[in-house]
Amino acid sequence: MKRGLSMKLELITLGVIVLFIAAFAYVSSSGNHEWGGADGQAEGVISDLTGGTYVPWFQSIYRPPSGEIESLLFALQAAIGSLIIGYFLGYYRALAKMKADKSARQREGKSDA
């Protein structure tokens, strides 16, 4: 039964990956796209709402010298966050598995007596 479940999970994962690749290929091939961030869109909305009179109350501590370095820092931040989340997910999964193994050993010990 475990092998069948594993195979089913692999097929579902493969299907999701193929779906994302197909969606990406369709979107990227259909038209001219401008990839803009949410910051630029929010700035435009704020400017429209305030009539251009809004003055930011906070200045950035560090401004990267180029867009490539800014992208690098963003990717580094995402990688560090992914590592932290992955560590804790793995830790709690191993903890749950150890508890399950311990309870199974206890049940086996009690059933032998």
State yes or no: pLDDT of 113 exceeds 70: no
- Scanning the structure block, which residue is given the tokens 């197909």? 22
Mean of pLDDT over the chain: 86
Residue type, 27: V
pLDDT band at 111 (very low <50, low <70, confident <90, very high): low
Name the residue with higher pLDDT: 16 or 33. 16
Chain centroid to CA 85: 9
Mean pLDDT value of segment 60-68: 88
pLDDT band at 27 (very low <50, low <70, confident <90, very high): confident
Give dist(CA 43, CA 36) in Å, integer: 12
State yes or no: pLDDT of 6 exceeds 80: no
Residue type, 39: D
Residue 76 makes CB contacts below 8 A (sequence gap 6+) with: none
Q: What tokens does 35 get?
A: 């990839």
Residue type, 113: A
